[in-house]
Structure 1
Amino acid sequence: MSGGDARQISVRTKDRNSEERSEQLAPPLRRDQSDSITYRSFLRVRAYAVMTKPRVMELLLVTTVPTMILAHGGPPNLPLIVATLMGGAASSGSASAFNMYLDRDMDAQMRRTSGRPLVTGEVAPRSGLLFAWILAVSSTVWFWCLVNYLAAALSVCAILWYVVVYTILLKRRTEQNIVWGGIAGCFPVVIGWASATGTVSWPAVILFLVIFFWTPAHYWPLSVKYGEDYRRVGVPMLGAIHGIEHVAKRVIAYAVATATASLLLIPVAGMSWTYATVAVVGGAWFVGEGLRLQAAARRAEAAARPMRMFVVSNAYLALLFAAVAIDTLVKHRFS
């Protein structure tokens, strides 16, 4: 062996020895985050939160507080608002958890729902069902003790309607599933009114009708986007069994009904020009977007963009109920 080769071997040996010493002196690597108890607990809590369908709760927030303000003729006391929203969130979460438990078989086959906790195994079916019952019972007791018995009774009705009428009886059987099943989403306004007054009056009924007519016009465009999913599992959502032009015609009809119902609140609840302006302009926008969807579908279904109608429907409802609150608060301020 030459002297140069010996020196190279010596250098490599020193380098290896240096690396080994560095590894020995280096602090031990942190365990993977997924192995930590804290992170596993976070994932478990998140899985149960997903079961409550937080996005569905947005309807609760958008509609309940303005309804309570209208019912009270001004801002209700904050503890009552908080109690109503917390009870409503638990009630809504219960209905959603029952829905996920009952639909877990088809959720596993749908791209949109394949990541739900009962499908992925993050939550066991038995645990999910127990969670749904805990929320149902706790929300009822909460309303009964901290709000009033009428709000508690209406909360129970909302859960039963969503779970029994919509999920079990209608969803897999008829294209009218979202029309009549959507009544469950109308309950937050009557619960809010009952929480503020202990009764249900005509303005609450009109707001109930607004959401009743709004729901199909809001959801049917979404059913077009996920039509393949619904066809795969045999759920007859309108957008899965009919073309976009047919869906657009039905959306227009329900958008017109929604806008008309919103105008009824003006004489019945004594709304001023603030609400009236938003109701008229917003209603025209809502209906106009349905007409745009129909015109686009006639030209080329691929260019129809049904999700634009979905987004507009959300914005319209938010603006309408914001107008309910602002109109009432302004009148209260200057009365």
Structure 2
Amino acid sequence: MRTLGAYVCRSCAAGVRRSQAPTRSASSLAGDRHKTSFSSFFYDNHRWAASARDALPASSPVAHSVRGHSVGAVYHPEGTAFRPAEALTPRKLARVYVQLAKGNLTVLVVLTAMSGVAMCPLPASLPVLLSTAVGTALCSASANAFNQIQEVPYDAQMARTRNRPLVRHAISPLHATGFALATGLAGPALLWTMTNPVTAALGAANIALYAGAYTYLKRKSIANTWVGAVVGGIPPLMGWTACGGALLPSSLDSFHLVLPSFLGSTPTAVADAMLAVENPLAPLALFLLLYSWQFPHFNGLSHLVREAYAQAGYRMLCVLNPHKNALVALRHALLLVPATSVLMPLSGLTTWAFALTSLVPHAVCVNAAWKFYRQGGEKQARKVFHYSIWYLPVLMGLMMFHKRGTDWGSWLGLEQGETEQGAGEEKETVSEP
């Protein structure tokens, strides 16, 4: 027993001696540094400058921390741990610009804006169509670039965003800011010149909402998701106004309701379609489609990456209340049914046949959202996200197919053949003695 006690005492004494050794922990090293500024998140490699390397011997240890422990690292000039960034060729720079603009998201924004152009009864010339697409893309690129400039410290903490251009130092913050400013000025200017001031104002408002309110609220309140949904609902309105559609009613007569034929509505498809230009219910239906669609789409995705949002400190509903996150997705999946299947034909955008055919994609997505709400698992969240991807183009395709005033027979050449056949029969009747 005495030998064991002596051994324990010697072990304790050795531990005390080690704890009193003049070693510097990670916390003490952090305390010696100057207060971290925002710019240090972008470039903190000045410590490896040539002057700093020359001042250190080849075997001089550089202390850094790994999981809270102080570790001595040896700097080797011939090593490949620190290498200069590659020069930006025009091709690489273009790729960086696409990443700053979040190319996939920008393409989706342009497609949704084109849905507003397609559903507007008024014709659109080719210059207006192209300028709307390019102007919307520039506005989206600016908003996404400003968003990444502000979120570099937080993107670096998330696995799915740590490879963005500013995080990996592929481009300087000043260069990225210049790109954001150039696209942010060019987009509204192009829309103002080629379309109208209302469309340009909507594009500028989208930049301010996304790069300002939405980005700020992501770390402050769960309301950021609702603000982001408004941002997603504006592009169809830009396409609608670019063709001359109105957002606000000019008079009470503008609220023209197109009822089904069995309720006494007269079959004046072309007249009802033209009345939709002044009907504020038409742009409201386009806005609600993209607004409510955002919640099943984003809430399902955010549930899958909620750990990353929590690590970066974002106040997301999927982190703070996963059950309510699924409930909100279900609510808006249900809201999409009256917002599209009822409001669109009622406003004159589509025929009432759209109310029947659109029930199929609605039923599939509502069923997936219901299972996500009841079970709350990652499998159900992934289904909601995947279903929302094909749901939007399918619904837009049905809207185009059932667009009021569109004569698909003349497009396919069916009516022309029937007309020629009828004219031939009439000619034979006249030529008979």
Q: Could you tell me the TM-score, scaled by structure 1's length?
A: 0.81
Instruction: Give the drift of 1:44.
Output: 1.7
Identical aligned residues as a percent: 26
Instruction: Give the drift of 1:225.
Output: 1.3
2:329 to 251, 255, 266: 251
Provide the residue aligned with 2:230 in structure 1. 183
Instruction: Give the drift of 1:198.
Output: 5.1
Instruction: Give the drift of 1:329.
Output: 7.6
Please list the CA deviations of residues 39-60 of structure 1 after superposition, one character each: whole Å capped at 9, or x if unmatched: 8321121011110011212332
Greater gyration radius: 2
Instruction: Give the drift of 1:104.
Output: 1.0
Provide the residue aligned with 2:246 in structure 1. 199
Instruction: Give the drift of 1:146.
Output: 1.2
| 1:114 partner SS | coil
The answer on whether the counterparts of 2:143 and 2:207 sit within 8 Å (CA) in structure 1 is yes
CA distance in 2 between counterparts of 1:198 and 1:209 reads: 17
Q: Which is worse superposed, 88-97 or 146-155?
A: 146-155
Instruction: Give the drift of 1:85.
Output: 0.6
| 1:95 partner SS | helix
2:140 to 67, 77, 92: 92
CA distance in 1 between counterparts of 2:357 and 2:213 reads: 34
Pair 1:192–1:236, CA change in 2 (3 A): same
Provide the residue aligned with 2:305 in structure 1. 226
Provide the residue aligned with 1:319 in structure 2. 394
Please list the CA deviations of residues 200-243 of structure 1 after superposition, one character each: whole Å capped at 9, or x if unmatched: 23211221122112212210111111111111111011222233
Number of aligned positions between the proteins:
294
Say whether residues 1:82 and 2:130 are aligned partners. Answer: yes
Provide the residue aligned with 1:59 in structure 2. 108
Provide the residue aligned with 2:418 in structure 1. none
Q: Could you tell me the TM-score, scaled by structure 2's length?
A: 0.64
CA distance in 1 between counterparts of 2:287 and 2:165 reads: 32
Structure with greater proportional helix content: 1
Provide the residue aligned with 2:345 in structure 1. 266
Runs of 4+ in 1 over 6 A off after TM superposition: none
CA distance in 1 between counterparts of 2:111 and 2:127 reads: 18
Instruction: Give the drift of 1:78.
Output: 2.7
Provide the residue aligned with 2:160 in structure 1. 112
Please list the CA deviations of residues 142-181 of structure 1 after superposition, one character each: whole Å capped at 9, or x if unmatched: 111111111111111111111111112x111112211123
Say whether residues 1:136 and 2:184 are aligned partners. Answer: yes
Provide the residue aligned with 1:217 in structure 2. 296
Provide the residue aligned with 1:71 in structure 2. 120
Q: Which is worse superposed, 135-144 or 314-323?
A: 314-323
Instruction: Give the drift of 1:330.
Output: 7.0
Instruction: Give the drift of 1:194.
Output: 0.5
- RMSD between superposed Cα atoms in Å: 2.3
Aligned residue identity for 1:293: F
CA distance in 1 between counterparts of 2:404 and 2:102 reads: 31
The answer on whether the counterparts of 1:211 and 1:258 sit within 8 Å (CA) in structure 2 is no
Aligned residue identity for 1:150: V
Pair 1:239–1:180, CA change in 2 (3 A): same
Aligned residue identity for 1:249: L
CA distance in 1 between counterparts of 2:298 and 2:390 reads: 14
Provide the residue aligned with 2:406 in structure 1. 331
Q: Which is worse superposed, 274-283 or 249-258?
A: 274-283
Instruction: Give the drift of 1:307.
Output: 1.9
CA distance in 2 between counterparts of 1:206 and 1:194 reads: 14
CA distance in 1 between counterparts of 2:380 and 2:369 reads: 11
Please list the CA deviations of residues 58-113 of structure 1 after superposition, one character each: whole Å capped at 9, or x if unmatched: 3324322222122135x633332111111100011110001001111101111110
Where relative contact order (Cα < 8 A, 6+ residues apart) is larger, the structure is 1
CA distance in 2 between counterparts of 1:327 and 1:65 reads: 17
Instruction: Give the drift of 1:197.
Output: 1.0
Provide the residue aligned with 2:204 in structure 1. 156
Aligned residue identity for 2:214: Y
CA distance in 2 between counterparts of 1:176 and 1:259 reads: 24
Provide the residue aligned with 2:219 in structure 1. 172
CA distance in 1 between counterparts of 2:201 and 2:233 reads: 14
CA distance in 2 between counterparts of 1:326 and 1:65 reads: 15
Aligned residue identity for 2:384: M
Gaps of 5+ in 2: 1-84, 248-279, 411-433
